[in-house]
Amino acid sequence: MKCLNNRAESHLTGQVESEVDGTANGGWVNHGYRGSPPPLPRAVSTIYSPRPHFQGSSDGAYKLDAPRNPEEPSSSSSSSSDQLITKKRRGCCSFVKGLWGTAWTENTVNNREKFVRTTLRELLVYVLFLVDVCLLTYGMTSSSTYYFTKAMTNLFVTTADESGVTFQSIGTMEDFWTYVHGPLLDGLYWTRWYNNQSLDRGDQSFIYYENMLLGVPRMRQIKIKNNSCQVHQDFKNEIIGCFDVYNDKKEDDLSFGLVNGTAWTYHTEKDIKGSSYWGLLTTYSGGGYYQDLNRTKEDSANILTDLMDNLWLDRGTRVVFIDFSVYNANINMFCVIRLVVEFPATGGAIPSYQIRTVKLIRYITTWDYFILGCELVFCVFILYYVVEEILELQIHKFSYFKSIWNILDILVILLAIVAIIFNVFRTVKVDNLLGKLLEQPEIYADFEFLAFWQTQYNNMNAVNLFFAWIKIFKYISFNKTMTQLSSTLARCAKDILGFAIMFFIVFFAYAQLGYLIFGMEVESFSTFVKCIFTQFRIILGDFDYDAIDRANRVLGPIYFVTYVFFVFFVLLNMFLAIINDTYSEVKEELSSQKDELQITDIIKQSYMRAFTRLKLKKEKISDVQKALQSGSGEIEFKDFRETLKEMGHADHEISAAFSQFDRDGNQILDADEQERMKMELEEKRDALNAELNNLGKNYEEKVLEKSPAAPNEPKTSSSRTFVDREQFLRLTRQVLQMENCVAGITSKIELIMEKLELHENSKRIVTNVDSDKSSSDRVDRTKAGRSSRKPADCPDAM
């Protein structure tokens, strides 16, 4: 019985110590939630930093060594090397877990607090990544880009000559030649000031006095073969030639006209390093007949006159391109301009233009080099997320792809890798192009390829930034308010998909009807694709009813009224009804659910643990000071140890504190060592008091924010809803003592129950033995009776 009582007391003591030690590591976690991590098996640090010794076992596990007594000799070099290896292994694992630990790599299913903390850490890292991406994206653009584009548009597109012809008003080949001899040449060559004085820059043109013309402009046309289409038998005598609509297989590649230059001989796309172009009518190849202009206005005018006189444009011409590039050093921007005039088989001309303002030279100013630093940080982030996704993929295998967020992660990473590769390619390519252009300034500066891919690069970054912002929902999904959108869309996805089939059947039926009825007269219905977008515009209220009515006075109103009624009033509102109904269900379910662990709860728990941890440190320092004051003169280790053990301190803590100040190692603290120990204890005690005060102020401010005073009640100290810090800590200690007492009583009751079970088992065993003996006696008596009766029965049997 005495042994059992000793075991119960030791169990109670260990439980109390673990409770006190665990208050700094989850002791104040609200266990009413899904779960909380168990307290770490370590003591709360005070003025010393006890370093537990680990040793490897045969099964690969690591266990804690017993605390070393200062009187014992130091460990061997082998034990210290084992400790070093152990620390390295534990440090590496904790580093990997801390750096790449996510909700997908750690087991957070039954631990709500760990899930929220891990998600918050992921969110913090991702916010830093998002800030870096925003700096990169917006650092590559500028408001000057718009004004640069607008200036070039006004000069080459909207400027008219004396006859009033502008680029946008070109309708015939004659208008084209009028434009190139007038507004085009006037806009390309700026060699004099407005007072007719020379710019003193030779034959180099500076458009608007600020934008340098790079190289020389180029004109290129694409022709179609004669007799590329069939003429009806009745018109063969009147119509000699037939030129079909553009088709790359029917493109003319024969020399014509003067046959003595690039303008009259065909060049393939590979020869001139061209690229295809998507025009208003069709897509054109990068080959054709081209003519480079000169660096002076007079020479270029002579070249254009020569082309016009020799009928460079004819019935076979399907498109003409005018390409040139300018550079503005003030804002470090390139403007690549392409003026396009398409000549359809119907006759006439359709002008269009494309102006790309891009930043091809990246690193000049201090801000540019700051963006370079952000690009390097971006590469580090991408490497970090690549490793993270690989770890998650190794753990979850193919189930990893079941989450839409993981697919979004991979998409963002792939787009980022492509952007990094293109960034390097663009930098090298621009350097080569500029070097070649500086050596030969009279050649055509072909920046069209780079401008096109730079634009695609910017578009890709814009899409990537969009996905990066959407990805934030992945990290704030632990809040039930934030999950309403995703839950609503996920729940009504099947209903919307099924209803969308019916909606688009009706929608495309109306699109075909509009194309067939109005396609010949109304531009917005001229193609089936335009019909689709026009009907979306009608839903939003942007439409031209008069054009529909003019095209067909009977079917036009019928089409419009029935479309608005069925599509807008019926089908579209059914879409909204499905979403609203599902949203109401989701909101009702979420409101009835039990509140899970929130961020505010974690913040409160952190404050509570910090208060308790600092208070325990302060109390242990006070215990050490009492132990110093209890001694007279020199203090021996055994007296110091006995005093602190009575106060509830562990052996390894006492040994660490004593050895820290026992400089000579004689296991005795002399007067100087005691004075030095007292001074350091006072300093640490003052520091802890200051930290407690600061933490208390911050906590009070947080409580005030969460629990403000009543509207009509003055904001005084009496209206606050929190208790004093000292009172709170005193109540905390009382609760711990109560829990320890209850635990002790519970353990004693368990021991009593075990004894009662043992007693009951022993009684059952005795009862069974007695019953077995009695039954065996009855069997023996029965056998004896039978044997005594058998001789008397034998004669009768005979």
* DSSP per residue, 361-420: ----SHHHHHHHHHHHHHHHHHHHHHHHHHHHHHHHGGGGGGSHHHHHHHHHHHHHHHHH
Question: CA 263 to CA 446: how far, in whole Å?
Answer: 17
**pTM of the complete model:** 0.61
- Residue of 67 and 727 predicted with greater confidence: 727
Alpha carbon distance 537, 223 (integer Å)? 37
Please give the CATH architecture assigned to the domain spanning 487-592: Orthogonal Bundle (1.10)
Between 496 and 441, the higher pLDDT residue: 496
| Mean pLDDT of the 446-462 span | 86
One-letter amino acid at 541 equals: G
Is 333 in a helix, a strand, or coil? strand
Say yes or no to pLDDT of 515 above 70. yes
Query: What is residue 455's predicted lDDT score, i.e. its pLDDT?
Result: 87
Q: Which of 54-63, 312-321, 744-753 shows the lowest mean pLDDT across its residues?
A: 54-63
Kindly report the CA angle at 561 between 559 and 563, in degrees rounded to 5? Answer: 65
Mean pLDDT computed over 385-398: 86
CATH classification of 608-709 is 1.10.238.10, yes or no? yes
Q: With 50 as the cut, is the pLDDT of residue 85 above it?
A: no
Q: Mean pLDDT over residues 49-61, rounded? A: 37
User: Residue range 159-174: average pLDDT?
Assistant: 92
Q: What is the pLDDT of residue 457?
A: 86
Distances (CA, A) of 162 to 183, 207, 383: 9, 20, 61
Residue 493 clears pLDDT 90, i.e. is over it:
no
Q: What is the mean pLDDT of the chain?
A: 75
CATH architecture of 116-140+366-473: Up-down Bundle (1.20)
Q: Is the pLDDT of residue 40 over 50?
A: no
Q: 784 pLDDT exceeds 70?
A: no
Higher pLDDT, 46 or 592: 592
Tell me what pLDDT residue 120 has.
Answer: 79
Q: Which residue has the higher pLDDT, 32 or 69?
A: 69
**Residue 789 confidence (pLDDT):** 45
Average pLDDT over residues 66-83: 42
- Cβ atoms of residues 521 and 550 within 8 Å: yes
Residue predicted with more confidence, 513 or 642: 513
Tell me, what's the pLDDT at 694? 63
> Is pLDDT of 587 > 50?
yes
Task: Say if residue 97's pLDDT is above 80.
Answer: no
Name the nearest CA neighbour of 252 among 231, 277, 227. Answer: 227
Q: Band of the pLDDT at 41, cuts 50, 70, 90?
A: very low
Confidence at residue 787, expressed as pLDDT on a 0 to 100 scale: 47
Give the pLDDT of residue 691.
61
pLDDT of 188 strictly over 90? yes
Q: How confident is the model at residue 688 (pLDDT cuts 50, 70, 90)?
A: low
* Residue 35 banded pLDDT, cuts 50, 70, 90: very low
**In this predicted structure, what is the pLDDT of residue 211?**
93
Domain definitions of the chain by residue range: 1-30+730-783, 116-140+366-473, 144-358, 487-592, 608-709
Higher pLDDT, 233 or 674: 233
Please report, for residues 54, 60, 63, 64, the alpha-carbon distance to residue 87 in angstroms, rounded to integers and kept in the order given: 8, 14, 13, 12
How sure is the predictor about 56, in pLDDT bands with cuts at 50, 70 and 90? very low
The answer, yes or no, to whether residue 372 has pLDDT greater than 50, is yes
Res. 173: pLDDT tops 90: yes
pLDDT, residue 177, reads: 95
Which secondary structure element, helix H or strand E, spans residue 19, and what is its range?
A: helix 2-22
Look at residue 659 in the predicted model and tell me its pLDDT.
Answer: 64
**Lowest mean pLDDT segment, chosen from 322-326, 689-693, 701-705:** 701-705
Nearest alpha carbon to residue 290 among 215, 212, 223: 223
More confident residue, 542 or 71: 542
pLDDT (tens digit, 9 = 90+) per residue, 649-659? 566 666 666 66
Q: What is the pLDDT of residue 692?
A: 57
Most confident of 88-92, 631-635, 755-759: 755-759
Per-residue pLDDT tens digits for 109-138: 666 667 777 777 888 888 999 999 998 888
CB 324 within 8 A of CB 152: no
Q: Looking at the predicted structure, is the pLDDT value of residue 403 above 90?
A: no
pLDDT in tens, 549-582: 899 999 999 999 999 999 988 988 898 999 999 9
Answer with the residue of higher pLDDT: 424 or 735: 424
- Pick from 418, 419, 415, 393: which is nearest to 406 by CA? 393
Binding-site members for Ca(2+) are: 662, 664, 673
pLDDT at 308: 93
Average pLDDT over residues 237-257: 89
Residues 401-423 have a mean pLDDT of 88
pLDDT > 70 fraction of the chain, expressed in percent and rounded: 63
pLDDT at 425: 86
Instruction: Reduce the secondary structure of 603-661 to three states and give it as a string.
Output: HHHHHHHHHHHHHHHHHHHHHHHHHHHHCCCCEEHHHHHHHHHHCCCCHHHHHHHHHHH
CA 364 vs. chain centroid, Å, equals 30
* pLDDT per position as a tens digit, 261-302: 899 999 999 998 888 999 999 999 999 999 999 999 999 999
pLDDT at 6 over 70: no
Q: Which of 173-187, 386-400, 615-629 has the highest mean pLDDT?
A: 173-187
Range among 39-53, 61-75, 433-447 with highest mean pLDDT value:
433-447
Amino acid 445: pLDDT: 85
pLDDT at 318 (0 to 100): 95
Cα separation, 58 vs 646, whole angstroms = 37
Closest CA to 482 of 472, 491, 492: 472
**Do the beta carbons of residue 199 and residue 290 sit within 8 Å?**
no
Helical H runs in 101-170? 112-139, 144-153
**Given pLDDT bands bounded at 50, 70 and 90, which one contains residue 29?**
very low
Between residues 689 and 156, which one has the greater pLDDT? 156
Look at the block and give the residue holding tokens 């941890």.
613
* Residue ranges at the known binding site: 662, 664, 673
- Residues facing 335 on adjacent strands: 326, 357
Average pLDDT on 681-700 reads: 60
Q: How many whole angstroms separate alpha carbon 751 and alpha carbon 1?
A: 10
Q: Is the pLDDT of residue 17 over 60?
A: no
Cα(38)–Cα(18) distance, integer angstroms:
11
pLDDT value of residue 143: 82
Beta strand pairing status for 206-207 and 62-64?
unpaired
